[in-house]
Structure formats: structure tokens, C-alpha cells
Chain A
Amino acid sequence: SQKIEQNSEALNIQEGKTATLTCNYTNYSPAYLQWYRQDPGRGPVFLLLIRENEKEKRKERLKVTFDTTLKQSLFHITASQPADSATYLCALDKTGFQKLVFGTGTRLLVSP
């Protein structure tokens, strides 16, 4: 069966450290994968998109990697801040027509 898995347990880190979140998938061959941030009571907000032919993508303190052999994406936040505390969702395009399938999300807590 098709699955997208993210750590269901919250990730607790100290301010200034690098947070690394994992997204694993099975039985999909996505053309791209996206990461979204969701704050309580709000809709998801797009952060980064990485395509199947890209190994790594960066935007300010964010970095995403995509390994289509391992079927895994890693999402890094460097020099983390308490304001980075949120739930982070990975999503992949199932059909090539922007039909996104989301993981369950990982909650990140950055303490001062």
C-alpha cells in the first residue's frame, strides 16, 4: 500500500540547534515533494518544493534533500528559533496533476 510517514512524536530542540525532520514514502514515484508549515488554528503555508532530479534545495535557514532511491526527504532548519515551533507537513504529488498526499506532520518545539 502507499504510505507517507513522518515522525508522529514531537521533536524538542534547543534554540540555535539544527532541527532535522524526516519524510519517508513507499509505493509512490512523485515528480516533486513539498514541505508546509502549519500553526495551530491555521491552514498550511508552503515552504519549499524539491523535484525528483534535485538533490538539495535551500531557502534562507531551510534546507530540503530528496533521495528517490531511499524514498526519503529530509527537512533541516538551521539556527532554530522559538518562532520555528509549529507542525511541519510533507506532501507529494500522487498523480502529476497537483493532487497532493500529505504525511501526518511532525510537531517541532524549539525552546529558548
Chain B
Amino acid sequence: EAGVAQSPRYKIIEKRQSVAFWCNPISGHATLYWYQQILGQGPKLLIQFQNNGVVDDSQLPKDRFSAERLKGVDSTLKIQPAKLEDSAVYLCASSPGLATGQETQYFGPGTRLLVL
């Protein structure tokens, strides 16, 4: 079974520029997550989708971050404008769904963002 796909793998931008990350979850997985992992820390949940609806976005800095999962499959996370402190790895994960009782999350390889 194919895993969670993410692109690009690396991105370098200057502050105040915009950037977008793409994620394709495991086929059939209803729940999709975006995490931010700063060097030396654990992943921090930014947003959680169930199909194409948002379950939780309480930790998403909505003044600059946005995310969508329009057709309930793949998802895009955008930062506009980027700040230096946004330098991190952005991880996408998926799980079968909240109603399935299967709590394992499957992570993609991440996108490493460097803001200069």
C-alpha cells in the first residue's frame, strides 16, 4: 500500500514570501492532519480534517496559515506571508477515520522549510 506522499521535500524562501505544501494521504483514509515540527521538538498539530471538513484548527495561525481539503482527498497547506519562525518541517499524516476506532496515524516524509 502506498504511503502518505508530500511535496516538495525541501523549500527555501525569503521572509514575507508565500509557500504551499501538498499532501496525498493513504487511499481511503478519511482523516488528514498537518503538523509543524521545529528542530528539537515533537510535532505540533496545526489542523485536522475529517473528509473535507475541519475538525480542529485551534493551533493554526490563521492570520498567515491556511489549509484546504476540497474533495476530501489531497490537501494543501499555505503560508502567506512567511516569517523566520516558520522554519520547520511540515508533516502530513492520515488515519482511517474518527469513527473506525483505528487511532494509528501514518506520516509522510515531511517538507523541510527554511525561511531566510
Contact = CB atoms under 8 A, between A and B. Distances in A.
Contacts of A98: 31, 48, 95, 98, 103, 105
Nearest to B40: A104
Interface string A3-27: 0100000000000000000000000
B44 A102 contact: yes
B55 interface: yes
A73 B29 CA distance: 29
Interface in A46-104: 46, 49, 89, 91, 93, 95, 97-104
Contacts of A105: 41-42
Contact of B105 (A4, A32, A41, A46): A46
Nearest to A49: B103
Interface residues of A, number: 23
A100 B109 contact: no
B79 interface: no
Contact of A101 (B45, B107, B108): B45
B93 A102 contact: no
Interface in B77-116: 91, 93, 95, 98, 103-110
B72 interface: no
Interface of B: 4, 31, 40-45, 48, 55-56, 91, 93, 95, 98, 103-110
